[in-house]
DNA sequence: TATTGTTATACTCTATAACTATA
DNA sequence: TATAGTTATAGAGTATAACAATA
C-alpha cells in the first residue's frame, strides 16, 4: 500500500468531496432522527431495526445483525424490547429450527409507516435546489446505487 | 396541516427520493465507520467528537453537545475518555469562567488526521459514476449546502 | 435568574465469551 | 464441526434531575 498523506493543498477526487458533503448533510439531520426516536419512545437501535424489517417478508435475526453492523447478541436485546411492546414477533424458521424469523405485527407496521414517512421528508438543504436539480441529483444517486 | 398518507403509488418529490437514497448510501457504509472505530479503539461518540473538534480553534463543550445532538452530561463522559488518552484537554474559558474550551493535543491531531483521511475516502457506489457525473453530484451538494 | 459543566442514577447499546439447540 | 440465537458480563452512550460555580 502506498502511504498517502492528504494535505490541504492536495487534489481530492470529486467523489470524495461529494462524500464529505453527504456526511455533513446527514450529520446536520441527526437531531431530526433523535426527535423521531423520542417522539415514538424508541432507542436509535430499535428505530433502525423497525425501519429495516420488512412487513411483507420476515427476516432472520442474523440478517438484521448484518444490516445494523452489530453483533447477534445485540439484536437479541433490541428485539426483546420491540417484542415487549408488541411491535414484532419471533417465529420459528420453517426450514431451519435454529433460525427465528422476525415478523412485524400490525401495530408495528403502523408505527413503521409513520417513522418512514417522517424520516423520508427531504431535509431543508435539498429543498434549496430547484426541481430540475433535484431530479439530476436523484438520478445520479440512482445510478450510483444501481436503482 | 394537511393530512398526508404516502402510498406506493403517490408521487414523491425528487428531493425526498434523493434523500432516501442518501440515507441508504450512508447506512451501507456503517460497517466502514465501525471498522475505523475499532481500528483506533474509539467508541462512535468519541470518534465523532474528535472529528468535529477543530485543532485550530478550541470549542466550548456546550457546542460539542449541540453538534452531537446530545446532552451536556453526555459530553462530560466522552471528553473524560478522550482526555484520559491524552487526545484532548479542557482549558478554562478566557472570558467566561463557566466555560471549558476543548483543545486537541498534538497526539489528538495526528489521530484526527488519520481518521478523517480514512472516513473521507469515497464509497464504492460513488466511484461507479464517471468523472463528469462525480463533479455534477459534488456541485449540486455544494449548492444545496451553500459551500 | 439563567447558563456551563459535573455528578448520580438508570436504561440502552455494544462486544466478548460461554452456552444451548440444531444442522 | 459449524451456525443461530441466548445469557452473562462489562464498558460506553444516553437523558433526567440535582448540584456548584459563574454570569
Domain ranges in chain A are 16-144
B129 against A35, higher pLDDT: B129
- Upper half-sphere CA count for residue B72 (Cβ side, 13 Å): 6
CA angle B13, B14, B18 (to 5 degrees): 120
What sections of chain B are H helices per DSSP? Answer: 14-28, 30-39, 44-52, 61-67, 72-84, 106-119, 124-127, 131-145
| Residues whose CB is less than 8 angstroms from the CB of residue A147 and which lie 6 or more positions away in sequence, other chains included | A141, B21
Task: Look at residues B137, B75, B139 and name the one whose alpha carbon lies nearest to residue B101.
Answer: B75
- A16-144 placed in CATH 1.10.10.10: yes
**Which cell goes with B123?**
464509497
Give residue B72's Cα distance to chain centre: 18
Contact B14 A123 (CB under 8 A): no
Tell me the pLDDT tens digit for each residue of A5-24.
444 444 589 999 999 999 99
Mean pLDDT over the full length of chain B:
91
CA A132, A137, A140, A141 torsion: positive or negative?
negative
CB neighbour list of residue A112: distance below 8 Å, 6 or more residues apart: A50, A51, A53, A55, A104
What is the model's pLDDT at position B1? 47
pLDDT band at B135 (very low <50, low <70, confident <90, very high): very high
Model pLDDT for residues A37-91, shown as the tens digit of each residue: 988 989 999 999 999 999 999 999 999 999 999 999 999 999 999 999 999 999 9
CB B72 within 8 A of CB B62: yes
Q: What is the pLDDT of residue B9?
A: 41
The residue written with cell numbers 473524560 in the block is B80
Q: Residue A125 in contact with residue B106, Cβ under 8 Å?
A: no
pLDDT value of residue B11: 59
CB contact under 8 A, A26 and B23: yes
Interface test with A, best of B3, B6, B13, B22 (most A CBs within 10 A): B22
Q: Are B25 and A145 in contact (CB under 8 A)?
A: yes
The reply to whether the CB atom of residue B76 sits less than 7 A from any atom in nucleic acid chain C is: yes
Decide: B51 and B116 in contact? Cβ < 8 Å.
yes
Smallest CA–C1' distance to D3, residue: A98
**Å from the A9 CA to the D7 C1':** 53
A117 sits in which H/E element: helix A106-119
Query: How far does A3 lie from chain B, in Å, by closest CA?
Result: 12
Q: How far apart are the first and last CA of chain B?
A: 33
d(CA B132, CA B69): 36
What residue in B sits closest to A138 (Cα-Cα)? Answer: B18
Contact A122 B21 (CB under 8 A): no
Q: Which of B22, B48, B67 sits opposite A25 (nearest CB)?
A: B22
Residue A137: helix, strand or coil by DSSP? helix
Q: Report the Cα A43 to chain-centroid distance in Å.
A: 13
Q: Chain B residue closest to A66 (CA)?
A: B31
Mean pLDDT of A131-147: 97
Q: Which three cell numbers stand for residue A7?
A: 494535505
**Residue A18's CB: how many other CB atoms inside 10 A?**
25
Which of A67, A134, A139 would you mutate first to test chain B, the one with the most B CBs within 10 A? A134
Q: Report if CB B98 to strand C is under 7 Å.
A: yes
Distance CA A38, CA A29 (A): 15
Q: How far is the CA of A131 from the C1' of C14 (A)?
A: 42
Query: pTM to 2 decimals?
Result: 0.88
Q: Does the beta-carbon distance from B19 to A123 stay under 8 Å?
A: yes
Contact B141 A23 (CB under 8 A): no
Residue A147 has, within 13 A of its CA and on its CB side, a CA count of: 15
Amino acid at each position: 500500500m502506498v502511504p498517502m498523506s492528504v494535505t490541504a493543498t492536495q487534489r481530492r477526487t470529486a467523489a470524495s468531496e461529494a462524500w464529505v458533503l453527504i456526511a455533513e448533510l446527514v450529520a446536520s439531520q441527526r437531531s431530526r432522527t433523535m426527535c423521531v426516536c423520542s417522539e415514538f419512545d424508541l432507542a436509535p437501535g430499535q428505530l433502525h431495526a423497525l425501519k429495516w424489517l420488512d412487513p411483507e417478508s420476515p427476516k432472520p435475526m442474523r440478517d438484521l445483525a448484518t444490516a445494523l453492523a452489530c453483533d447477534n447478541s445485540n439484536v437479541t436485546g433490541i428485539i426483546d424490547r420491540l417484542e415487549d411492546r408488541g411491535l414484532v414477533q419471533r417465529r420459528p424458521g420453517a426450514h431451519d429450527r435454529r433460525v427465528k424469523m422476525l415478523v412485524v405485527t400490525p401495530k408495528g407496521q403502523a408505527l413503521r409507516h409513520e417513522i418512514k414517512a417522517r424520516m423520508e421528508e427531504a431535509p431543508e438543504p435539498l429543498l434549496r435546489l430547484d426541481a430540475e436539480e433535484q431530479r439530476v441529483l436523484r438520478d445520479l444517486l440512482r445510478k450510483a446505487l444501481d436503482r
